[in-house]
């Protein structure tokens, strides 16, 4: 009888349990987390602003590995959420890494909105975002950034941008993370080391690396303050990536490249506030003022690069940066755009550029390695008299101002440029000045030599030393590029210094000093 009552008690205990027991989640980044933000340790983000819609994002960190959770969300015109314009519930789970991403529609053009999430009685930080304008604006301001490597030190430029309240959006041109293991490419003196410590390959690896970056307060704050419009470059997958391979992937040691690529793409879409579609290349309509065209120069169509400018196949039809489908789309967007300014979000340098170093002259990972498609684009712009095309470019960890030409020694001298290109330096990734043997004096002398010599007559400004961001402001009669630099790459600071300013007057395709 005692045995029966004891067994009955046990059965009743299990049958009356209201919740199943799930294993506790152990987070390898717990030592980096701010407990006051629990369970929204990674903050909030927004992106891909349209005239009537915007993506909002967060990640929840439940204590247990629950198969599914439900998250509340709200969007309002004020940060007190007294004027709600949209709200609802959304479900997520471990298959998405507990990330939440919503496409909030039915919004007003050119309007500031606030958004927030709730889960298990906790509220996320309040995010700010802005939709695209539908009519001609007095001005548009975009911050242009690229190349943030956790191991090179604090993300000062992100922190500085978080303090600004006058931006329409932040354009991130790639290398949002780096795939390398500890000590492969970084600065060991900063005390910031990649996690996991090895080169990332698996789903868990890529998720952990993004999580580590998003626990950085400067990066978290800038996402909370502004909508992002992003594109990947190579390090979101592996160094010098293309559609079916990469320099930093060895299939005999690291398995299938396509499996790695699929994992990298999945995690990118999990963590970034972008609309998910078959292609990441896309455009954004800012009314009469501007159309922003974001290109995918890595995974959509890029073929393996040649090893030398003397390779006889460099101009073959099989050599592609964009691929036929994207190239046709891009050409049509340029030809049909009614916007005054056509802004091209471009990962690698489009203009012809001779770096001028004895051991490094022409960069075959840039458009210089894919001249056939570049010629088609330039001819399209020239033959259709497409005006006010501005390429904004990342990748090189260097600031550039270039007048776009295919041949700086021939057609450029006779007819001038067909567009302009403004290159953003890195957030903090190492540049020429920080490579072994490249002292300040050598780099400054090199810059002066290039700027004053005939090897790059199309180049109007370069800075190979400093880190920060580029601001591109668009007005009715001009585009203004400003480069802002951090005083130190290794010391945390949100102070920024205006290093240079250049102006492109409407219908000119010139890079001028402000007083010209």
Instruction: Supply the pLDDT for residue 23.
Output: 74
Task: Answer yes or no: are the C-beta atoms of 444 and 463 closer than 8 Å.
Answer: no
Instruction: Supply the pLDDT for residue 5.
Output: 42
Closest Cα to residue 177, out of 267, 294, 106, 275? 267
**Alpha helices (H) in 305-349, listed in sequence order:** 324-336
Task: Answer yes or no: are the C-beta atoms of 118 and 88 closer than 8 Å.
Answer: no
Tokens, residue 355: 């770096």
Q: Please state the domain extents for the chain.
A: 30-130, 140-505
Tokens, residue 457: 């007559």
Instruction: Supply the pLDDT for residue 451.
Output: 81
Dihedral (Cα; 11, 16, 18, 19), 10-degree rounding: -10
CB atoms within 10 A of CB 275: 14
CB atoms within 10 A of CB 410: 10
Cβ-Cβ contacts under 8 Å for 260 (sequence gap 6 or more): 201, 237, 238, 249, 254
End-to-end Cα distance, the chain = 101
In which residue are the tokens 């790639």 written? 174
Positions in the chain whose pLDDT score sits under 50: 1-18
Task: Answer yes or no: are the C-beta atoms of 170 and 226 closer than 8 Å.
Answer: yes
Tokens, residue 31: 């030592």
**Which CATH superfamily hosts domain 30-130?**
Purple acid phosphatase-like, N-terminal (2.60.40.380)
Q: How far apart are CA 385 and CA 332, in angstroms?
A: 14
Q: How far apart are CA 480 and CA 11, in angstroms?
A: 74
Length, in residues, of the chain: 516
Q: How far apart are CA 149 and CA 51, in angstroms?
A: 33
Task: Answer yes or no: are the C-beta atoms of 425 and 368 closer than 8 Å.
Answer: no
pTM: 0.95
Cβ-Cβ contacts under 8 Å for 338 (sequence gap 6 or more): 288, 291
Give how far the C-alpha of residue 491 lies from the chain's centroid of Cα atoms, to the nearest Å. Answer: 23
Count of helices and strands (H, E) across the chain = 10, 23
The CATH number of the structural domain formed by 140-505 is 3.60.21.70
* DSSP-derived 3-state class of residue 314: coil
DSSP class of 508: T
Task: Answer yes or no: are the C-beta atoms of 203 and 263 closer than 8 Å.
Answer: yes
Element (H, E) at 376: helix 371-383
Closest Cα to residue 193, out of 55, 315, 32, 342? 32
Cβ-Cβ contacts under 8 Å for 172 (sequence gap 6 or more): 145, 146, 228, 229, 230, 231
CB atoms within 10 A of CB 179: 26
What b/e readout covers 200-236, taking b as 16+ CB neighbours within 10 angstroms?
Answer: bbebebbbbbbbbbbbbebbbbbbbbbbbbbbbbbbb
Instruction: Supply the pLDDT for residue 306.
Output: 96
Closest Cα to residue 99, out of 284, 273, 238? 273
**Alpha helices (H) in 2-94, listed in sequence order:** 2-15
Task: Answer yes or no: are the C-beta atoms of 183 and 10 closer than 8 Å.
Answer: no
Tokens, residue 369: 């390695």
Same fold, 30-130 and 140-505: no
Q: How far apart are CA 295 and CA 230, in angstroms?
A: 10
Q: How far apart are CA 427 and CA 462, in angstroms?
A: 16
């Amino acid at each position: 009888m005692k045995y029966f009552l004891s067994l009955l008690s046990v059965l009743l205990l299990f049958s009356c349990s209201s919740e199943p027991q799930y294993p506790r989640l152990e987070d390898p980044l717990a030592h980096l987390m701010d407990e006051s933000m629990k369970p929204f340790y990674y903050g909030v983000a927004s992106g891909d602003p349209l005239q009537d819609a915007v993506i909002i994002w967060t990640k929840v960190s439940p204590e247990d590995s629950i198969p599914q959770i439900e998250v509340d969300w709200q969007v309002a015109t004020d940060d007190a959420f007294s004027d709600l314009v949209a709200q609802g519930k959304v479900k997520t789970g471990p298959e998405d890494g507990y990330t939440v991403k919503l496409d909030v529609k039915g919004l007003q053009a050119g309007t500031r909105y606030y958004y927030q999430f709730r889960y298990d009685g906790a509220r996320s930080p309040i995010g700010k975002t802005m939709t695209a304008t539908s009519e001609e604006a007095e001005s548009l301001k975009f911050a242009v950034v690229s190349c943030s490597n956790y191991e090179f030190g604090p993300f000062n430029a992100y922190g500085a941008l978080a303090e600004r309240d006058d931006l329409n959006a932040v354009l991130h041109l790639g290398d949002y993370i780096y795939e390398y293991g500890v000590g492969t490419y970084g600065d060991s003196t900063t005390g910031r080391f990649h996690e996991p410590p090895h080169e990332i390959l698996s789903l868990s690896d890529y998720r952990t690396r993004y999580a580590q970056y998003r626990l950085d307060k400067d990066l978290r704050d800038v996402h909370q303050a502004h909508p992002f419009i992003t594109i990947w470059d190579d390090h979101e997958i592996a160094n010098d990536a293309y559609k079916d391979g990469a320099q930093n992937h060895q299939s005999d040691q690291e398995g299938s490249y396509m499996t790695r690529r699929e994992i990298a793409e999945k995690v990118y879409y999990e963590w970034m506030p972008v609309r998910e579609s078959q292609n990441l290349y896309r455009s954004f309509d800012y009314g009469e003022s501007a159309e922003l065209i974001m290109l995918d120069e890595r995974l959509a169509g890029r073929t393996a690069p040649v090893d030398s400018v003397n390779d006889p196949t460099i101009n073959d039809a099989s050599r592609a940066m964009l691929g036929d489908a994207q190239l046709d789309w891009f050409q049509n967007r340029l030809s049909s755009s009614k916007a005054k300014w056509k802004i091209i979000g471009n990962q690698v340098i489009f203009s012809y550029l001779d770096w001028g170093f004895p051991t490094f002259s022409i960069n075959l990972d840039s458009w210089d390695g894919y001249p056939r498609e570049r010629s088609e684009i330039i001819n399209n712009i020239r033959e259709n008299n497409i005006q006010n095309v501005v390429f904004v470019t990342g990748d090189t960890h260097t600031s550039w101002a270039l007048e776009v030409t295919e041949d700086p020694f021939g057609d450029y001298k006779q007819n001038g440029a067909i567009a302009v290109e403004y290159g953003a330096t890195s957030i903090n990734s190492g540049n020429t000045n920080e490579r072994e043997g490249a002292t300040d004096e050598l780099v400054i002398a090199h810059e002066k030599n290039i700027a004053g010599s005939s090897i790059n007559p199309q180049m109007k400004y370069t800075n190979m030393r400093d880190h920060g961001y580029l601001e591109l402001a668009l007005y009715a009669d001009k585009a203004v590029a400003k480069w802002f630099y951090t005083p130190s790459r290794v010391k945390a600071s949100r102070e920024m210094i205006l290093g240079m300013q250049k102006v492109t007057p409407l219908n000119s395709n010139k890079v001028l000093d402000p007083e010209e």
